[in-house]
Amino acid sequence: MADTGTLSFKVSPVSPLAPDGRYLARKFYGRFMAGMITVAALVGVSVLWLILGYVIVRGAPAINLDFFTQRPLPYGEVGGGIAPSITGTLLILVVAAVIGVPVGLGCGIYLAEYGRGTIVEVIRFCSDLVAGLPSIVVGVFVWALLVRQVVGNFSGLAGAVSLSIIMIPIIVRTVEAVLLLVPYTLREAALALGVPKWRMVISVVLPSARAGIITGLVLSVARAGGETAPLLLTTLGNQFFSWNLLEPVGAIPIQLYNYAVAPYPDWHTKAWGAAFVLISVIGILSTLARVATRGNNR
Amino acid sequence: MMTRNADNETSQPGAWEVEGSPNFARSGGVGADDVFKWLVYIAAFAVPTVLVALFILLVIDSWEALSRFGLGFVTSSNWDNVKEQFGTLPYIYGTVVTSLLALLIATPVGVGAAIFVTEYAPRPLRVPVSFTIELLAAIPSIIFGLWGFFALTPLMRSTVEPFMKSVVGPLPVVGSLFQGPSVGKDLFTGGVILSIMILPTIVSISREVLLAVPTMQREGMLALGATRWEAIREAVIPYARVGIAGAAILGLARALGETMAVTMVIGNSSRKITGSLLTPGYTMASAIANQFTEADNPLYFSAIVGVAALLLVVSAIVNVAARLMIWQISRGGAKGGNRG
C-alpha cells in the first residue's frame, strides 16, 4: 500500500486517467485522427466508383450492335464501331498466350519442382524484375528488335510478343505459389508408385493445382488485354479487319486512345464505349478467376 | 488393384503387374523425364534471358546517342530533333516531379486507408473496403487516361488549380509551385492521376505489413492508457515503418514507368523546366510514347531508346530497393519491432 502511494506520488500527483484538460485534448485528437483515417479510406473507395461511374454513364450510350460489328468510319459518317479492334485484341491475346503460357508455366514448374539453391532465387528475382518493368520499356524493346529489325514494320506478332513478356512474370508467380501449396505427400505417393517425375508433375501436381493455375492465366490475360503503351509501339493499331500477324493489327486500347484524342464529340462517346467494353471484359475475367479459385480445395 | 486405379487414365488394358514395369523402363531410357526436365529448364532460363537481352539491346541501340552526348544526355535540357541535340533533363524532371507529387498525395491516403482497414473498420467493412481499393489496380492505364482527359483535367483547370493558386500561391517557398495560368494539362494533373494509380499498391502492401504487427504491440500500449490513435502512432506504425516505406517506394516504381494515363493529361508541349507545377511537360515514358513514330533518323531513334534505357535502370533500382525493404520486414519481423 505504502509502496504504491509513493510511486504514484513520484510519477504524477493526479491519476493519469482523471478526465482533466490534457486527457480531453488527447481524446479529441484521437477522434480527429480516426476521422481523417476514415476520410482517407472513403477517398480511396470513392475514386474507384467515380471512375467506374464515368465509364458506365458515358460509355453505355455508345453500345449498340453496330459498335461490335462495324469497323471505325471516317469522321462525318454516322455509326461505325470497334469490331476490328475486338478481333485484333483477341488475335494478339491468343498469340501472346501461345508464347507466354508455356514459358510462364514451365518457369513456375521449374521454380516449384526442379530448381535448387541460389539459381531459384536468381530466376525468381529476374521474374520479379520483369514484372516491375515499365510496360513502355517492354514496348521499346520489342519495337527496336522486331519492328525495326526482324519484321521491318509494325505487326500483330510484335504486339503479341510484348504482351507475352508482360504476362510471363504474372503466370510464373501464381503457378509457383499454387504448386508449393500442393502437399508433398501427394508427390511422394506418386513417386512411390514408380511414376516418373514428369508424369508426377503432369498427372498429379498440376491437376491438383488446376484452379490456381487457371486463375493466374486468366489474370495475366486480363492484365495484358488492357495494356496500351507496348501495343502502341508494336502493332500501331488498324482501322480494318486484319488477321495477318505480320501486318498492323487493331486493338481495343489503341482504338480507344485514337478516339479519345480526336477532336470530335461523337468519337469521344465511342472512346467511352470502348472503355466500357474493355472494363467489362476485364471485370468478367477477374470474376471468373476469383470463382475458379473459390471452387477449389481452399 | 490400387496401382490400377492410380494409373487408370492412361493404362492400356492388361495385367496390373506388367503395367508398372514398362513405365519404369520408358522413364529410364532416352527419357521422357529428361525431355520434360529440359523443356522446363529452357522455360525457366528464358526469363533471365529476356531480361538480359532487353538490357543489352537497349544499351546497344542507345549507344550512338549515349556516346555522342555523354553526360550531356542526362544534364542537358535541349531536346531538338531538327538540330539533332538530345538532352533528356526535362523528361527526367517531369518524371521525378510527377512521381514525387503522386507519392506525396497517395502515401498519406493509402496508409490512412490501410490503417482504417486494419485498425478502425468494423469487421464486415474490412474486406469490401480493401477489395474495392485494390480493384483500382485492375483498371487499365488507358482508362485512367480517358477519365483524366475528360473528367479530371477540366476540374483541375476550373477549380483545383485556381484554388491552389489563391491559397498556396502567396506563400513564400511553396508558392512558386503554383504560378502561371491554370491550363489543366500539366505536371500537377499528371501527379494527381498517378497518385490514384499507385494508391492500390500502397494500400495492399501497407495493409499486409500492418496485419503482420503483433496484437501485443497494440494491447501493451492501450493497457498503458493510450488512446487508440496513440497506440497506432507509438506502437503500430513504428513497427511497420520499413514495410510502409517499401510500399511507398513500390508505388513510386509504378509511377515512374506509367505511360498512357500521364501522356493524356500532362500536356506534352513545353520542354522548358520552370519551377511551377502548372506547366505542361513530359515524362520519360510520355516522351517515348509521343515521339517514337517520328524517329526517322538513327540518332533520334537511338536517343529515344536511350530514354527507355534510362527508365529501365531507374525503375529497376527503385524496384529492387522496395523489394529489399518489404522482404526485410516480412523476414525479420521481430527485428523491426525495436523502435529507434
Determine the residue among A26, A27, A29, A45 to mutate to test chain B binding: the one whose Cβ has the most chain B Cβ atoms within 10 Å. A45
C-alpha angle with apex B82: B76 to B83, nearest 5 degrees?
Answer: 55
Chain A interface disruption, residue of B9, B40, B91, B330, most A CBs within 10 A:
B40
Whether residue B85 sits in one domain with residue B20:
no
- Express each pLDDT in A144-157 by its tens digit: 998 888 888 889 99
Question: Pick the residue with more confidence: B11 or B244?
Answer: B244
Sign of the torsion angle spanned by Cα atoms B320, B325, B328, B333: negative
Provide the pLDDT for residue B7: 43
- Amino acid A5 reads G
Exposure string over A215-227, b if 16+ CB within 10 A, otherwise e? bbbbbbbbbbbbb
- Residue range(s) defining the domain that contains residue B318: 72-336
CA nearest to B328, candidates B254, B206, B240: B240
Q: What DSSP designation does B102 have?
A: H
What pLDDT, in 10s, does the model give residues B78-129?
A: 888 788 888 888 899 999 999 999 999 999 999 999 999 999 999 898 888 8
* Percentage of the residues of chain A whose pLDDT score is greater than 70: 91
Per the model's pLDDT, the better-predicted residue between B171 and B333 turns out to be B171
CA angle B85, B90, B94 (to 5 degrees): 150
Question: CA-CA distance, A198 to A187, in Å (whole number)?
Answer: 11
Chain B nearest C-alpha distance from A174 (Å): 14
Cα angle B165, B168, B174; round to 5: 115
What are the residue ranges of helices labelled H in chain B?
2-7, 16-28, 32-69, 72-75, 89-115, 123-135, 141-147, 153-155, 161-167, 187-211, 215-223, 228-231, 237-257, 260-265, 284-291, 298-331, 333-336
pLDDT at B25: 44
**Statement to judge: residues B91 and B55 lie in one domain:** no
Q: Helices marked H in B8-122 — which ranges?
A: 16-28, 32-69, 72-75, 89-115
Greatest extent of chain A over all pairs of C-alpha atoms, in Å? 95
Same domain for B204 and B99: yes
pLDDT at res. A16: 55
Per the CB < 8 Å rule, is B146 touching A126? no
Q: What is the average pLDDT across B264-276? A: 80
Query: Which helix (H) or strand (E) element contains residue A128?
Result: helix A118-132
Cβ-Cβ contacts under 8 Å for B273 (sequence gap 6 or more) = B77, B89, B90, B93
The answer on B182 and B248 residing in a single domain is yes
Whether B65 contacts B73, CB under 8 Å: yes
Q: How far is it, in rounded angstroms, from Cα A215 to Cα A230?
A: 24
What pLDDT does residue B174 have?
A: 81
Confidence band (pLDDT; 50, 70, 90) for B270? low
Q: Which residue of A has its CA nearest to B292?
A: A233
pLDDT higher than 70, residue B337: no
Distance CA B275, CA B277 (A): 7
Instruction: Give pLDDT, residue B172.
Output: 80
- Long-range pairs of B25-29 with CB within 8 A, sequence gap ≥ 24: B26/A196, B27/A196, B27/A198, B27/A199
Residues B166 and B195 in one domain: yes
Measured distance CA(A73)–CA(A67) in Å, rounded: 11
Q: What is the pLDDT of residue A74?
A: 81
Instruction: Check whether residue B132 and residue B53 sit in a common domain.
Output: no
Res. B1 pLDDT band, cuts 50 70 90: very low
Residue B48 and residue A165 in contact, taking contact as beta carbons nearer than 8 Å: no
Nearest one of A182, A170, A178, A183 to A212, comparing CA atoms: A178
Please count the structural domains in chain B: 2
DSSP code of residue B267? B
The pLDDT value recorded for residue A17 is 57
Contact B308 A222 (CB under 8 A): no
Q: For residues B243 and B206, is the Cβ–Cβ distance under 8 A?
A: yes
A65-97 in b/e burial notation, b at 16+ Cβ within 10 A?
A: eebeeebbeeeeeeebbbbbbbbbbebbbebbb
pLDDT band at residue A7 using 50, 70 and 90 as cut-offs = very low
Q: Do B42 and B80 fall into the same domain?
A: no
A44/B33 CB distance under 8 A: no
CB contact under 8 A, B142 and A256: yes
Cα(B26)–Cα(B198) distance, integer angstroms: 53
Whether residues B205 and B277 share a domain: the answer is: yes
pLDDT of residue B285: 92
pLDDT at A274 over 80: yes
Q: Indicate whether B84 and B192 sit together in one domain.
A: yes
A9 pLDDT higher than 60 = no
Q: Do residue B35 and residue B80 come from a single domain?
A: no
- Do residue B222 and residue B77 come from a single domain? yes
Mean pLDDT of A63-84: 84
Q: Which of B239, B117, B7 is nearest to A37 (CA)?
A: B117
Q: How far apart are CA B299 and CA B106, in angstroms?
A: 38
A276/chain B closest Cα distance in angstroms: 9
- Point out the domain boundary residue: B13, B47, B64: B64
Query: End of a domain among B32, B47, B64?
Result: B64
What Å distances lie between residue B106 and B1, B109, B113, B194, B251, CA to CA? 62, 5, 10, 9, 9
Lowest mean pLDDT among A51-55, A290-294, B255-259, B314-318: A290-294
Q: In which band, very low, low, confident or very high, does the pLDDT at A13 lie, cut at 50, 70 and 90?
A: low
Please indicate whether, in this complex, the C-beta atoms of A194 and B23 are within 8 angstroms of each other: yes
Q: Lowest-confidence range among A70-84, A195-209, B143-157, B239-253?
A: A70-84
Stated pTM of the model: 0.86
In angstroms, what CA-CA distances link B230 with A32, A110, A178, B38, B71?
12, 48, 40, 57, 49
Residue of A nearest to B36 (CA): A198
At residue A32, does pLDDT exceed 80? yes
Band the pLDDT of A240: cuts 50, 70, 90. confident
Given the C-alpha cell 517557398, which residue does it identify? B173
pLDDT in tens, B33-71: 889 999 999 999 999 999 999 999 999 999 999 898 888
Choose the mutation target among A37, A82, A268 for the interface with B, i.e. most B CBs under 10 Å. Answer: A37
- In the predicted structure, residue A19 carries a pLDDT above the cut 80: no
CB contacts < 8 Å between A and B, how many? 277
* Predicted local distance difference test score (pLDDT) of residue A91: 93
CATH code: domain of residue B173: 1.10.3720.10
The answer to whether the CB of A231 falls within 8 A of the CB of A251 is yes
Mean pLDDT lowest among A158-162, A196-200, B316-320, B331-335? B331-335
| pLDDT at residue A267 greater than cutoff 50 | yes
Alpha helices in B136-185 (DSSP H): 141-147, 153-155, 161-167
Cell 479529441 appears where?
A28
pLDDT at B17: 43
Q: Which residue in the set B24, B143, B292 is minimally distant from A143, CB to CB?
A: B292
CA-to-CA separations, B338 to B210, B321, B325, in angstroms, rounded: 15, 21, 16
Chain B hits for A103, CB-CB cut-off 8 Å, are 43, 46-47
Give B289: exposed, middle or buried? Use CB within 10 Å, 0-12, 13-18, 19+.
buried
Residue of A nearest to B265 (CA): A261
User: What is residue B30's predicted lDDT score, i.e. its pLDDT?
Assistant: 58
| Closest-CA residue to A44 (of B210, B108, B250) | B108
pLDDT at res. A211: 87
Q: Please check whether residues B11 and B33 belong to one and the same domain.
A: yes
Residue A213 reports pLDDT greater than 50 = yes
Residue B142: the pLDDT is: 94
Q: How many CB atoms lie within 10 A of CB B127?
A: 11
Q: What is the mean pLDDT of residues B141-156?
A: 93
- pLDDT score recorded for residue B267: 84
pLDDT tens readout for residues A90-128: 999 999 999 999 999 999 999 999 988 899 999 999 999
The answer to whether the Cβ–Cβ distance between A44 and B199 falls below 8 Å is: yes
Higher-pLDDT residue of B284, B331: B284
Q: What's the pLDDT score for residue B332?
A: 53
pLDDT reported for residue A204:
92
Residue B11 has pLDDT above 50, yes or no: no
Cβ neighbours of A58 in B, within 8 Å: 150
DSSP tag of B279? S
Q: What is the mean pLDDT of chain A?
A: 87
**Average pLDDT value for chain B:** 84
Which among B27, B40, B151 has CB closest to A106?
B40
CA of B290 vs chain A CAs: smallest distance (Å):
10
The alpha carbon of residue A127 is apart from the nearest alpha carbon of chain B, in Å, by 6
Q: Which residue has the higher pLDDT, A109 or A16?
A: A109
In which band, very low, low, confident or very high, does the pLDDT at A2 lie, cut at 50, 70 and 90? very low
Q: Nearest to residue A166, comparing CAs of B112, B214, B330, B140?
A: B140
Cβ contact A233–B308 (<8 Å): no
- Please give the Cα distance from B321 to A173 (Å, whole number): 19
Q: Which residues of B touch A261 (CB under 8 A)?
A: 149, 264
